[in-house]
Structure 1
Amino acid sequence: MEKIEEIIASFHIDPSLLYDAIVSSTDDYIYIVDMKKDLALVSENMARDFELPGRLVPGLVPLWGASVHERDRGRYFQSIQEMMDGETDEHNVEYQIRNRKGEYIWVVCRGRLKRDGVGEPIMFAGVVTSLGDKGKVDHTTGLFTQRECEKRVTRLAEQHGGRAPGGLLLLGLDDFTRVNDLNDHIFGDTVLRQFAQSVQGHLPDGAEVFRFDGDEFAILWDRAEERDLLELYRKLHFYSNRRHEVDGVSYYCTVSGGIAMLGRDGDNYLDLIKYAASALEASKRRGKNICTVFSPGLIEARLRSMEIANQLQMSVAGGMERFRMVYQPLSQAGDLSVHGAEALLRWSCPLGEISPGEFIPVLESTSLIQSVGRWVLEQAVRTCRAWTAFCPDFVMNINISYLQMLEKDFVPQVRELLRRYALEPRHIVLELTESYFVTDMEMLKDTFRALREMGVRLAMDDFGTGYSSLGLLAASPADEVKIDRAFISAIHDNSFNRSFIGAVVQLCHSVGISVCVEGVERYEELKTVRTLQADSIQGFYLARPMPEEAFRARYWEGAGEKN
């Protein structure tokens, strides 16, 4: 067989033509380094995409290494040093490197070092391949894909006989579709990239992050304990729970998590990802922005959730069968007279009485919230109109899902109900939780404006549990703030809670917002709250939620109609 030297000697071609042909036939980045002069010739795309000083680059190896991600830089320079020490003539390393956009992308760099007759390096040449072009890396975020995560887990399991130490933290951005709907998919992709880069900045040694479908990411951490993954989530939770900005546009996007441990929960990829997904789903059901560790009980909870969804479907299809309304009185803080109520939805099924905290998230996840929400709104408006006959200034507070407010026909629906029942808008207050006043402010501002122009008031519910900021109140479209029970418990013994509520009341009053303190369950709490000049009070100590008939009997029967 002929030697390669003999073949090349008999094959004559212009080297510049050969180089141009190779460069123009691939999207890879090509480099050739003259080791004697320490001068490199790089392909045009390499100079452009990484903002190199030109096609001829002096000191390429250290210059290139400076752009390699600090987590990978040691491996990059170690491979170079091994070649320089004569241990090998091959360079083959995967790492992340910063491109001209300031984004880190995954590449594999392969090269070969050539030496002269005495073993001195004379030429180093090779190619740099973007792993995104090979399907290993997600183009949007620059992270390895789910397929690569599967390979890593499988390798770990095989190395340790199915008892590999470590775990998987599956992350899901909460309500990410709102970010896309509020802006566009280009903005959403930028948010995903920003989140991915931030996660990488929080990763400890031994952990890798992968992009899954949509708004999901996974962190695989070799040799981690459960407490390590929980601590890592805590750091990401802290990062996410604040205002972020992209191109001058502010947004909020929290993150939920689910944890499954290698060996303990699953000894293969399919089981591990299934259990981590089950834990993440549980976090979403429990209200989002939290992390859940997998346990066998979650499987039962998921089956229960599916059964609840099935029963809800039948209830809605049966004309809102098994749904009912109850009403909790709202009392004036001064004389404790009842001037309004909060309309609350209740539901039972063959499984028993199901709490709103369990069935309402299922309603929202199955889109049944639209049908049920319309029914709740009509029941509350009808009841309010009847009770204004006994109390001319009666006000009905109605909880609204943000999904209802996102519907284009929501404002016309409210207007039509008020017309049908001849009820003035001033009698209605629509409640939305605090977090949505912040995270969906831009998306809902037109709806907020239309409702307020109509004369319907808005209430910020659960204030203090999410993004609470006194500065937020001054810019809020809310007409009323409802302070959460979390600040009421033991308020007579807790000076911080007293001061917080006092500050909220003062600021709200200064900008024309009324304050309701909810969750008052003890006499000592009531006594202290009444000294803080709130406008109204709600809680079990004054009255529990009750059916329409019981409310009417307790407050209106025998009073006589006043108008």
Structure 2
Amino acid sequence: MLVKDLSFYTHWLVTKWRDPGRKTKTYSLAIIILIFLISAGGIYLIGRYYSDSYIYMHSMHLPIILSAIIFRSKGGVIAGFIAGMIFAPIIPIDFGLDLLRARVGWLLRTSFFMAEGMIAGVTFEILHYQFNKLEESSYHDPSSGLPNKLFLFNKLKEIQQEDEITDYKLVLINIKNYSEAINNFGHGKTVEFNQAIAGKIKGNFNQVNNVYNIYNENFVVIYNEDSHNNSLIDLIKLLENEFNQSFEFNDLPVYLETYFSVTSIENKLNPEELFQNVYLALKEARDSNQTLIEYKNDYREKEENNLILLGEIKDSIQNDDFFLKYLPKLDLKNNEIIGAEALIRWNHPEKGQISPGLFIPQVEKTALINDLTYWVVKKSCQELNQLKEAGIDINISINITPRNLLDNNFIDNLFKIISNHDLRPADFDLELTETDIMQDIDTAAIKLSELSQAGFNISLDDFGTGYSSLSYLKELPFNSLKVDQIFIKDIYQKPKSKEIVSAAIKLGHIIGCQVVAEGVETEQTITELNSLKCDYIQGFYITEPLVIADFIDWHHNY
């Protein structure tokens, strides 16, 4: 407790004396004058009654140093001169004997006091400069020169001390493709690039000081409704449009993609909590691919639940709380079931059935996805053997992710698991979405080629919803394309959807791929797909996903 109190008072003193205000200077001047008067009186009295006033000479150091601290070198020199005057020749050493001070000694002493004041003043000026430099570096981001998170927190504390703060918003601006831009320009251009971005933000928000740079790609603005004619939504739209229109930087046109998140500044939340809120809103914007999200209280609960679920997945894998359901794949030409897609489900021991949409997106962002994928492969192998024993000879489709491909042991581990169950790579289709592939197309090309050469069938999932491009379709070793259900569900109602599906089927056949239509639910859809020469279909029209025992029974009765 004592150490904490000392630390607090030390910080208070350094802050107070480093840059004293008018009030502090006035009080300090009064104290200095008082010390001088007491010292002069002491010298007079001691000289009159005790014949020794030299001991009071040391009392001069205090006002000299105090003057140097408050008024810097000029104040120190003046205080030194005044101290010398107190010991001037006109004041006797001994009033009784009427002994005067030696003029040479007085001059030397005065010079010493003035030199002391000068040295102390210069020392404190240097310290003041260094303190300012240190504070400047601690409150500003070195990569942009803009105010940083610490500066922002102090500003938020100031705002929260105001009587009415209902009109304040914290706005986080995230530059989605920041890393790509910096890699193109070189990291030596980071400062200039960040300042260019900040300039755009300042121009739209009409603000000079309160644009903060947090972790390179994130910029923060404190918005006050009273200070702007435009609403926050309008300002964000204007800024988004400006970033979407490429601007010149380093003699190159720059296009920036942005996400915006907003939270209200409230008294009941400390700056760290406000910061967490605006980041949770940003995460929601990125996950849902929305340009602007304002924080809602359930985001925090959602994030906490996600963390809890992630923490429980490892145990659930070990405890076999997961299970698989199978969605059949039908050959339209022969009306035969030629495969099934393995879909993971979670039977939580306390919460019951948990939707894959609640845990799969979270797991895919972590290394846990490798453990979960290996579990799916092992379980698929076991249940594929059950199918074979039941006389059902089909392929199993398994979804994989970019993180799986980045695992250097992934392919070897697949081989081990499959061979341990006396199965072949050709018994499996590995599915990857367009969006997943485009995260790292070079790695995907290498790994998928290795898997294809090993005998696995490779499927492009959700075709048409991501970054469809003839260039990567030509280069990557796909065996089949799966056309997303958003194009399939209204194929018999909307001519444009039918044309898109027709083009996708023709494209797939041109590059040597089988085409699978997802989400088929009606007889009319099947009729249209047959006319377009689609190869395979999946969907609830055939059956809903089934656990292995039900799938075997259903297949025998099909």
TM range (shorter): 0.5 to 0.7
Letter in 1 for 2:276: K
Q: Which residue of 1 aligns with 2:98?
A: none
Q: Which residue of 2 aligns with 1:308?
A: 309
Is the contact between residue 237 and residue 289 of structure 1 (CA under 8 Å) also seen in structure 2? no
- Residues 408-465 of structure 1, C-alpha deviation per residue, up to 9 Å, x if partnerless? 1001011222322232322211111211211211233321121111111222212222
Listed as ranges, the matches of 1:456-475 within 5 Å are 456-469=456-469, 472-475=472-475
Q: Displacement of 1:551 after TM fit?
A: 0.7
SS of equivalent to 2:310: helix
Q: Which moved more, 1:226-235 or 1:339-348?
A: 226-235
The higher radius of gyration belongs to 2
Q: Distance in 2 between matches of 1:164 and 1:131?
A: 33
Q: Which moved more, 1:222-231 or 1:342-351?
A: 222-231
1:227 and 2:233 are equivalent in the alignment: yes
Q: Distance in 2 between matches of 1:192 and 1:325?
A: 51
Q: Which residue of 2 aligns with 1:451?
A: 451
Q: Which moved more, 1:421-430 or 1:465-474?
A: 465-474
Q: Distance in 2 between matches of 1:362 and 1:266?
A: 30
Letter in 2 for 1:426: A
Q: Displacement of 1:512 after TM fit?
A: 1.2
Q: Displacement of 1:192 after TM fit?
A: 11
Is the contact between residue 199 and residue 236 of structure 1 (CA under 8 Å) also seen in structure 2? no
Q: Displacement of 1:480 after TM fit?
A: 1.9
Query: Cα–Cα, structure 1 residues 445 and 142, in superposed 2: closer, same or farther, change >3 Å?
Result: farther
Is the contact between residue 167 and residue 225 of structure 1 (CA under 8 Å) also seen in structure 2? no
Listed as ranges, the matches of 1:160-171 within 5 Å are 161-171=164-174
Q: Which residue of 1 aligns with 2:213?
A: 211
SS of equivalent to 2:552: helix
Query: Cα–Cα, structure 1 residues 322 and 228, in superposed 2: closer, same or farther, change >3 Å?
Result: farther
Q: Distance in 2 between matches of 1:211 and 1:320?
A: 45
Q: Displacement of 1:359 after TM fit?
A: 0.9
Q: Which residue of 1 aligns with 2:148?
A: 145
Q: Which residue of 1 aligns with 2:336?
A: 337
Whose helix proportion is higher, 1 or 2? 2
Q: Which residue of 1 aligns with 2:54?
A: none
Query: Cα–Cα, structure 1 residues 427 and 184, in superposed 2: closer, same or farther, change >3 Å?
Result: farther
Is the contact between residue 426 and residue 457 of structure 1 (CA under 8 Å) also seen in structure 2? yes
- TM-score normalized by structure 1? 0.63
1:542 and 2:548 are equivalent in the alignment: no
- Residues 34-55 of structure 1, C-alpha deviation per residue, up to 9 Å, x if partnerless? xxxxxxxxxxxxxxxxxxxxxx
Query: Cα–Cα, structure 1 residues 281 and 205, in superposed 2: closer, same or farther, change >3 Å?
Result: closer
Is the contact between residue 481 and residue 516 of structure 2 (CA under 8 Å) also seen in structure 1? yes
Q: Distance in 1 between matches of 2:278 and 2:379?
A: 41
Q: Which residue of 1 aligns with 2:293?
A: 292
Query: Cα–Cα, structure 1 residues 293 and 205, in superposed 2: closer, same or farther, change >3 Å?
Result: closer
Q: Which moved more, 1:340-349 or 1:205-214?
A: 205-214
- Residues 506-555 of structure 1, C-alpha deviation per residue, up to 9 Å, x if partnerless? 11211112221111223333322232222211111211111011111111
User: What stretches of structure 2 of length at least 5 have no aligned partner?
Assistant: 1-131
- TM-score normalized by structure 2? 0.63
Listed as ranges, the matches of 1:97-108 within 5 Å are none
Q: Which moved more, 1:152-161 or 1:354-363?
A: 152-161
Q: Which residue of 2 aligns with 1:424?
A: 424
Is the contact between residue 483 and residue 517 of structure 1 (CA under 8 Å) also seen in structure 2? yes
Q: Displacement of 1:335 after TM fit?
A: 3.8
Listed as ranges, the matches of 1:473-512 within 5 Å are 473-512=473-512
- Residues 202-236 of structure 1, C-alpha deviation per residue, up to 9 Å, x if partnerless? 77233675432365443544436463476468659
Query: Cα–Cα, structure 1 residues 481 and 259, in superposed 2: closer, same or farther, change >3 Å?
Result: farther
Listed as ranges, the matches of 1:237-386 within 5 Å are 257-262=260-265, 269-283=271-285, 286=287, 291-316=292-317, 319-349=318-348, 350-386=350-386
Q: Displacement of 1:330 after TM fit?
A: 0.7
Q: Displacement of 1:273 after TM fit?
A: 1.5
- Residues 129-164 of structure 1, C-alpha deviation per residue, up to 9 Å, x if partnerless? 999983554344565432344455556556773223
- Residues 260-284 of structure 1, C-alpha deviation per residue, up to 9 Å, x if partnerless? 1345x97764343221122223345
Q: Distance in 2 between matches of 1:404 and 1:247?
A: 39
- Residues 246-304 of structure 1, C-alpha deviation per residue, up to 9 Å, x if partnerless? 999xxx997655321345x97764343221122223345x4556643211122222232
Listed as ranges, the matches of 1:6-155 within 5 Å are 134-140=137-143, 143-151=146-154, 153-154=156-157
Q: Which residue of 2 aligns with 1:523?
A: 523
Letter in 1 for 2:164: G
Q: Which moved more, 1:476-485 or 1:201-210?
A: 201-210
User: What stretches of structure 1 of length at least 5 have no aligned partner?
Assistant: 1-128, 241-245
SS of equivalent to 2:205: coil
- Residues 102-135 of structure 1, C-alpha deviation per residue, up to 9 Å, x if partnerless? xxxxxxxxxxxxxxxxxxxxxxxxxxx9999835
Q: Distance in 1 between matches of 2:134 and 2:245?
A: 28
Whose strand proportion is higher, 1 or 2? 1
Is the contact between residue 132 and residue 139 of structure 1 (CA under 8 Å) also seen in structure 2? no
- Residues 297-322 of structure 1, C-alpha deviation per residue, up to 9 Å, x if partnerless? 22222232233233324313xx2432
Query: Cα–Cα, structure 1 residues 201 and 185, in superposed 2: closer, same or farther, change >3 Å?
Result: closer
Is the contact between residue 170 and residue 218 of structure 1 (CA under 8 Å) also seen in structure 2? yes
Letter in 1 for 2:313: L
SS of equivalent to 1:204: helix
Q: Distance in 2 between matches of 1:380 and 1:255?
A: 41
Q: Distance in 2 between matches of 1:154 and 1:471?
A: 53
Query: Cα–Cα, structure 1 residues 164 and 158, in superposed 2: closer, same or farther, change >3 Å?
Result: farther
Q: Distance in 1 between matches of 2:190 and 2:450?
A: 30
Q: Distance in 2 between matches of 1:382 and 1:189?
A: 55
Listed as ranges, the matches of 1:178-193 within 5 Å are none
Q: Distance in 2 between matches of 1:531 and 1:487?
A: 16
Q: Distance in 1 between matches of 2:446 and 2:551?
A: 35
Q: Distance in 1 between matches of 2:548 and 2:251?
A: 51
1:404 and 2:407 are equivalent in the alignment: no
Q: Distance in 2 between matches of 1:331 and 1:420?
A: 29
Query: Cα–Cα, structure 1 residues 282 and 266, in superposed 2: closer, same or farther, change >3 Å?
Result: farther
Query: Cα–Cα, structure 1 residues 389 and 257, in superposed 2: closer, same or farther, change >3 Å?
Result: farther
Is the contact between residue 175 and residue 256 of structure 2 (CA under 8 Å) also seen in structure 1? no
Query: Cα–Cα, structure 1 residues 155 and 408, in superposed 2: closer, same or farther, change >3 Å?
Result: same
Query: Cα–Cα, structure 1 residues 369 and 278, in superposed 2: closer, same or farther, change >3 Å?
Result: same
Q: Distance in 1 between matches of 2:436 and 2:245?
A: 19
Q: Displacement of 1:400 after TM fit?
A: 1.1
Q: Displacement of 1:352 after TM fit?
A: 2.8
Query: Cα–Cα, structure 1 residues 409 and 469, in superposed 2: closer, same or farther, change >3 Å?
Result: same
> Aligned Cα RMSD in Å?
4.2
Q: Which residue of 2 aligns with 1:51?
A: none
Q: Which residue of 1 aligns with 2:67?
A: none
Query: Cα–Cα, structure 1 residues 160 and 283, in superposed 2: closer, same or farther, change >3 Å?
Result: same
Q: Distance in 2 between matches of 1:197 and 1:360?
A: 38
Is the contact between residue 169 and residue 263 of structure 2 (CA under 8 Å) also seen in structure 1? no
Q: Distance in 1 between matches of 2:442 and 2:256?
A: 13
Letter in 1 for 2:150: R
Q: Distance in 2 between matches of 1:236 and 1:355?
A: 40
Percent identical: 23
